[in-house]
Structure formats: structure tokens, C-alpha cells
């Protein structure tokens, strides 16, 4: 990076003026809304001023330009000051800030991607840095571009383990294009943060995780300019000592003001005082333009180059079929990337890694961070992202998954070793809650393939389906059921066994579909005919096909599943209003 040139006095004063205007607009917006976090905004005013009007390179009229530097407000409750920034740089009207938190305004209480200047939703604390890691990794290794990534965190969220997972990830991969700014304002919501203003402790912790850590006065625009301009050979943490509620005398460094707007009479007095601190300056600051060096990317029509090539009756585990399908998809689509959490030799994502080592990201045993990194990699439509681990281990990243949905993220998750069918490993390794978990996410599509052919089709469909996609794969090897030319669609079930006189409709998926087909042959010898359906996707469920065949079997349905009773496809079937299950059986493997 170029040598640091100290800004002239006019520039420094202009940055101070902007900081106070950001304070004023944050107070105006939260007072008008009757809710919000003005004190959390006021502690970062100088940080936001320096970042957006001195350090970052971006086009203010085009917030999602692929060449822009990225910014993530991990302490999402300080959203009003982010909105104030985008009013300050002319992207939106200042009057719009007074619509903060109104039901018909896009300016929600925490950042969401319906705002063009927001890439990932934040507010559930401790997740922003992981997403920033995904963006920085993409910038350095996939895009090989000069854009940088800046993430602003609060000291309260530094207690979240996911933050330190991200710190370890960034250091290991030498993300020297990543800067974390820590707003150390001492006070959390109900108590002081555990380290309060012990800046040296924050610095030692960051350094222990392999970061370049710089302590600054977070209200000194000059110190911030200098720290943010330093040459970097590793990820950098700017540890900024700030005062919560800075500029609001009644609230400065005082407990009891978190999340509380100022009453109008107090707000008017504070605003008048802040306005008096804005000194005349003829200098107008504009963001620097970014370099135009990010490669154009198209993620449309990410397809397999050919049909599956399995042999009927051949036995293959769907987890292995996933790895083979992913490698195949990556062979002809250079923006397909794969992440895993140290389970690649079990999920078979190692097949992708062996073929495409430069597009594989090992996230190690840090599932929360893995999901956040996936979300970051997928922002601005830069990559088609697949992330895999045992199905059961996604439960520890559920908050990241639900925030990914709020982020409108298009990421694909594969959970292997589902259900009790994994056998001897025991219940700690069994995914028995995963269908319930992903079915509850509004944007999720849930695939449950039953053989190699349907698994390959699921991978291809997931790559082209908006929202979160979850592919549930099994450990046991099972026979190929489908012809290689079989057509599969999201929300379309397959009737795999039927006669003209079936007594009951049986629904199974994965290993239980194969058990149902075995049962069908056994029962046939006793002159009992059953109809067997493979749902393929549990969400959306093919209600039309299920209702049609339920009627044909006089309303009798049995679901056979490898999942807990709650939230599996029994529950999905019984929510269909036009049918009633007479009896539902959960199959448990011993």
C-alpha cells in the first residue's frame, strides 16, 4: 500500500463535521421512530466518517458495484448511522431517515439486503466478521481483485465464539484485505462489557489470533485515518476506544441508555449543541473511486455437462454421489466453490477438493463460521456456494442459517450421515432434527435424494434455486433406482411402486425408501399391495401427487422416516388439508 500521507487540516475538520452530522441524523431518526440505539450510533460516528469519506473506495450511486470495497455493520443495532452515511453521500434523501422503523420503510431497525447498500443482514450479534471473511476470501483468492472488506463490530459481541472462529479463519488464510474495526465503547446492554476499556487485553487477544492489532482513540479522525492507511500483510484489527453516547451529555458512558431513543426535548438540545460543533469548512469530501479489476461473473444456468452415468442396481451412498456430483458441476462451472468443516472424507466433498483445489475452502471444525463464510462468498452473486458437514452439526449453526435466509442468501448446504441409519456411531452423530430445522426456514428448499441419480439432480437443481437449499444425504450404500435420463423437479414426487389395487400409500426417502420397496416385495407375496412414493423434496412437498394417491388408497398413508417424530415429513404430510393420516409409523433402525 502507498505511504501514508497525513490529511490536511481542512480534510480532518470536514471528517469531524461529517461525524457530527451522522450523530445528528441518528438522533433525529431514532427520536422520530420512538425506538432504536442512538448511543450505539454515536460511539462510531468518527469511525463511519473516516471509513466512508476517507478510506473506502466505492461508487456511492452504485452500492453493489462489484469493484466497491465492502462494509459489514456487524453491530447491526447501529443501523441508523449506516443509513445516515448513505444520506450523507447522496444515495438517498435525508428526509427518508425520519421513516426509520416504519412499517412501509425499507429502513428497518437492523440492516437487511432490501437496502441496496447492505450485503448481509446483521443484528444477531457475532456473525458479521464471518461473512466478511467470506467476502475477503472471495476477493483475494477467487476474484483476485483489489477491493477490501471492512467490518465494524461492537465490544459486546466479542463474547460470541463465532467471532473468534472468524478471527482464526482470517489469520490462517492471511486475509490481508480484511479490516475489523472494534468499537470498544465499554457498555453492553445490561452490564459493562467484560473487558470494559482494557484495550491492551483486546490487543493481546487479537494478536494471539494472528492479527495486526492497532489501538486508537476512536474519536480522533486523525488517528483513525492513519491506522486505516497502514500497509498490511495480515488481517488488521483497529481497536478503537470510544465513549458510548458520545456527544449526548446525559448519556455519555452511562448505563441504562442502550436501545433507548432520546425524548424530543433532550434530542433538540443535543442536536443544537452538535450543530454548534460543525465548523465552517469549504471542503466537501467524496469517496474515492474503486479500481475496475473485479472479473465479470454470470451464475445463470449452472448446469451439469451431461446426464448421470450410473448403472441400475449399482450400490452407492448418496453422500458419495453428492461429492461426485459437486466435482462434476465444478468441472464446467468455474464459480462453483465448496466449503467443508473437516468432514470432507465423510461428506465426500474431498472429491471436489481433489479436482478443484483452488475452489475448495477448508473451514475446519467451526460450523457457525463456515455458514457465515458461505454467505459472504455468495454475496453480490460472485459464487455458487456449497457447504457440507454431518447433518447434525448444522444445528449449532442454526442462528447463522436463519440469518442467511434474512440475508436473502443463495447458499447450498449438504448434511450427510442423517438419521439413525448411520448406526454404531451413536446419537451424537445422528441428524434427527435437520428436516424440522430447515423446513422452518422460510426461504429453504429441502432435498432428500434416495439414490445416486436423484442426488446428482438435486445438486444441479440446488445450484439454480434461489434461497437456502439443504441436501440430506445418507451413509449406507443403496441401489440405484432411477434411469439416468429421469427428469427431476423441485416439488415433484416420484411414484416408484404401484398396482391397480393398493391398500396403502407408503412415503419414504433416502434409506427408508429402499426399506419400503423391500417391504412392498415381501407384502406382495402375501397379496398385500402397497404404493410407494419418493417425495424427492420435503419442502416444497408435492401435495398434488400425495393427495391423488392417498385418495386411491382410501386415505391410508404410512410415512417411514429416519428422523425424530417432530418436524419430519410425517408432519409435512399431515399439514395437507385435504387428507388425514389414519396411522403413521416411524421406522427406527436398530
Q: Cite the active site residues.
A: 367
Question: φ and ψ at 497, to 5 degrees?
Answer: -155, 125
Distance CA 401, CA 368 (A): 9
User: b/e map of 558-571 (b: 16 or more CB within 10 Å)?
Assistant: bbbbbbbeebbbbb
Judged on CB neighbours under 10 Å (0-12, 13-18, 19+), 404 is buried
Return the closest-CA partner of residue 142 out of 336, 351, 320: 336
Between the CA of residue 460 and those of 206, 324, 455, 480, 488, what are the distances in Å? 41, 12, 9, 18, 10
Between the CA of residue 408 and those of 73, 118, 119, 373, what are the distances in Å? 17, 11, 9, 15
For residue 273, the SS3 value is helix
Distance CA 210, CA 498 (A): 61
Question: φ and ψ at 555, to 5 degrees?
Answer: 80, 10
| Dihedral class, residue 186 (left if φ above 0, else alpha if ψ from -120 to 50, else beta) | left
Residues 6+ apart with CB under 8 A from 523: 529, 530
C-alpha cell at 138: 472471495
Alpha-helical runs (H) found in 218-338: 221-228, 264-276, 318-331
Amino acid at each position: 500500500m502507498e505511504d501514508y500521507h497525513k490529511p490536511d487540516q481542512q480534510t480532518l475538520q470536514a471528517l469531524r463535521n461529517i461525524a457530527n452530522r451522522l450523530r445528528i441524523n441518528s438522533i433525529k431518526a431514532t427520536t422520530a421512530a420512538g425506538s432504536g440505539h442512538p448511543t450505539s450510533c454515536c460511539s462510531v460516528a468518527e469511525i463511519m466518517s473516516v471509513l466512508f469519506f476517507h478510506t473506502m473506495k466505492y461508487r456511492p450511486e452504485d452500492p453493489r458495484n462489484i469493484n466497491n470495497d465492502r462494509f459489514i455493520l456487524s453491530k447491526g443495532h447501529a443501523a441508523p448511522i449506516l443509513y445516515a452515511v448513505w444520506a450523507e453521500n447522496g444515495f438517498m434523501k435525508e428526509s427518508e431517515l425520519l421513516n426509520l422503523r416504519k412499517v412501509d420503510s425499507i429502513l428497518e431497525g437492523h440492516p437487511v439486503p432490501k437496502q441496496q447498500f447492505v450485503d448481509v443482514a446483521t443484528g444477531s450479534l457475532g456473525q458479521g466478521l464471518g461473512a466478511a471473511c467470506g467476502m475477503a476470501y472471495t476477493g483475494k483468492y477467487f476474484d483476485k481483485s483489489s477491493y477490501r472488506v471492512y467490518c465494524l463490530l461492537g465490544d459486546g459481541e466479542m463474547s460470541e465464539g463465532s467471532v473468534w472462529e472468524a478471527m482464526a479463519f482470517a489469520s490462517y488464510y492471511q486475509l490481508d484485505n480484511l479490516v475489523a474495526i472494534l468499537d470498544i465503547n465499554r457498555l453492553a446492554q445490561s452490564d459493562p462489557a467484560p473487558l470494559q476499556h482494557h484495550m491492551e487485553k483486546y490487543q493481546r487477544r487479537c494478536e494471539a489470533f494472528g492479527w495486526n492489532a492497532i489501538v486508537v482513540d476512536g474519536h480522533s479522525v486523525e488517528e483513525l485515518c492513519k491506522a486505516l492507511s497502514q500497509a498490511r500483510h495480515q488481517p488488521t484489527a483497529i481497536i478503537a476506544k470510544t465513549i458510548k453516547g458520545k456527544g449526548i451529555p446525559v448519556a455519555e458512558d452511562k448505563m441504562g441508555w442502550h436501545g433507548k431513543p432520546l425524548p424530543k426535548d433532550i434530542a433538540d438540545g443535543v442536536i443544537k449543541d452538535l450543530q454548534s460543533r460543525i465548523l465552517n469548512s469549504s471542503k466537501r469530501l467524496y469517496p474515492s473511486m474503486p479500481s475496475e479489476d473485479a472479473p465479470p461473473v454470470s451464475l445463470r444456468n449452472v448446469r451439469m455437462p451431461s446426464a448421470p452415468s450410473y448403472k441400475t442396481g449399482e450400490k452407492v451412498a448418496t453422500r458419495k454421489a453428492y461429492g461426485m456430483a459437486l466435482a462434476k458441476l465444478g468441472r464446467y462451472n468455474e464459480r462453483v466453490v465448496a466449503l467443508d468443516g473437516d468432514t470432507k472424507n465423510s461428506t465426500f466433498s474431498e472429491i471436489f477438493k481433489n479436482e478443484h483445489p483452488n475452489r475448495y475452502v477448508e473451514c475446519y471444525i467451526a460450523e457457525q463460521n463456515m455458514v457465515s463464510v458461505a454467505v459472504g462468498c455468495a454475496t453480490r452473486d460472485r459464487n455458487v456456494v456449497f457447504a457440507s458437514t454431518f447433518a447434525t452439526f448444522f444445528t449449532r449453526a442454526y442462528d447463522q442459517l436463519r440469518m442467511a435466509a434474512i440475508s436473502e442468501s443463495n447458499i447450498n448446504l449438504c448434511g450427510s450421515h442423517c438419521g439413525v441409519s448411520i448406526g454404531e456411531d451413536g446419537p451424537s452423530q445422528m441428524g434427527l432434527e435437520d428436516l424440522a430445522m430447515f423446513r422452518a426456514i422460510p426461504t429453504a428448499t429441502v432435498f432428500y435424494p434416495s439414490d445416486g441419480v436423484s442426488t446428482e439432480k438435486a445438486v444441479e437443481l440446488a445450484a439454480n434455486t434461489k434461497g437456502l437449499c439443504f441436501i440430506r444425504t445418507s451413509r449406507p450404500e443403496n441401489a440405484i433406482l432411477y434411469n439416468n435420463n429421469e427428469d427431476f423437479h423441485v416439488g415433484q414426487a416420484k411414484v416408484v411402486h404401484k398396482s391397480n389395487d393398493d391398500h396403502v400409500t407408503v412415503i419414504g426417502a433416502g434409506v427408508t425408501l429402499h426399506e419400503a420397496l423391500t417391504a412392498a416385495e415381501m407384502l406382495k407375496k402375501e397379496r398385500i399391495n402397497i404404493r410407494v412414493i419418493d417425495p424427492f423434496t420435503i419442502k416444497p412437498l408435492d401435495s398434488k401427487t400425495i393427495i391423488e394417491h392417498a385418495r386411491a388408497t382410501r386415505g391410508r398413508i404410512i410415512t417411514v422416516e429416519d428422523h425424530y417424530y417432530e418436524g419430519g415429513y410425517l408432519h409435512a404430510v399431515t399439514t395437507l388439508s385435504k387428507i388425514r393420516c389414519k396411522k403413521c409409523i416411524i421406522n427406527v433402525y436398530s
